[in-house]
Amino acid sequence: MTIKYLWVLWALCCLAVLEVKAQDDLLGELEGEAEELVFEYPAFKAMKIANLQSTKVAAKGDTYMYVSHRFGSVKDGFDTFFGLDNANTKIQMVYGLLEGLQIGLSRESWRKTYGAHTKAVLTRQGQKFPLHMTYYGTVNLNTDVDKDRYEGFKYADRLSYAHQLLVARRVNNNLSVELAPTFVRQNLVWEPGQEHNQFALGLGGRYKISKRSSINIDYVWNFSRVEDSVYKNPLSIGMDIETGGHVFQLLFANAQSTNEPGFISNAEGDWADGIVFFGFNIVRVF
């Protein structure tokens, strides 16, 4: 009888050991799944580095209002109060439609341009993947041109497009970098021989200098620019300043437009000649 009880006790011990092992395996799986959901903080605080789009996307249900100014050239001096008399203004509303997906509408005074865009998260940097990747696409309508000024003008000539793959990495707590392969289509080009379809590569970065401020820089190389073009590759240098629900972005750039087809294809300034435009972006989240 004692032997029988010993066998029963041994069986119960085995079952207990198996149950503990099963629980450990289950906890291990859950911890593994949790690890997959751990992501780095976003590489950038604002939706733009300076002029170049960043990988940041509005959270679901959030509404952002962007007000952007690009003044005239600082080279004009006191005649235009260093460009402050000649402002290009853009107002943009952005809405987080779904988690990882935003849409937006804008109006810019430069060439009286209306714009619409979408931006979608493809991947997030985390323990399982080293990069933030985001798609950005925009279509713009130039209402400043008409058939009286251009022979053979058609309504479709008002349209321009841009598509970008934004690839970023938060290197450490202070430094984030980004590459942006870009395709731009301009139905109306402004120089003889200029291709309608243009390919470019954007580079940008952000370096924190304090808890609430950073130095930002971005540059876009347009590989399809016509030789001896009057337009230049856009270079922008600026600073982010965070204050509660606002992000202020102060910058200098050699492009007055803030729309992607505008500044990537038609940056009219030149850093070498001192033709640079001061500007800022104000961002408010609702």
Distance CA 220, CA 200 (A): 7
Closest residue by Cα to residue 99 from 144, 67, 49, 62: 62
Distance CA 251, CA 230 (A): 23
Q: Which pLDDT belongs to residue 271?
A: 95
Q: Which pLDDT belongs to residue 20?
A: 42
Q: Which pLDDT belongs to residue 37?
A: 53
Low-confidence ranges of the chain (pLDDT < 50): 1-24, 26, 30, 33-35
Q: Which pLDDT belongs to residue 244?
A: 72
Q: Which pLDDT belongs to residue 233?
A: 97
Q: Which pLDDT belongs to residue 245?
A: 65
pLDDT tens profile 104-152:
999 999 889 999 999 999 999 998 899 999 999 999 999 988 766 667 7
Q: Which pLDDT belongs to residue 83?
A: 67
The partner residues of 159 in beta bridges, in order of sequence, read: 141
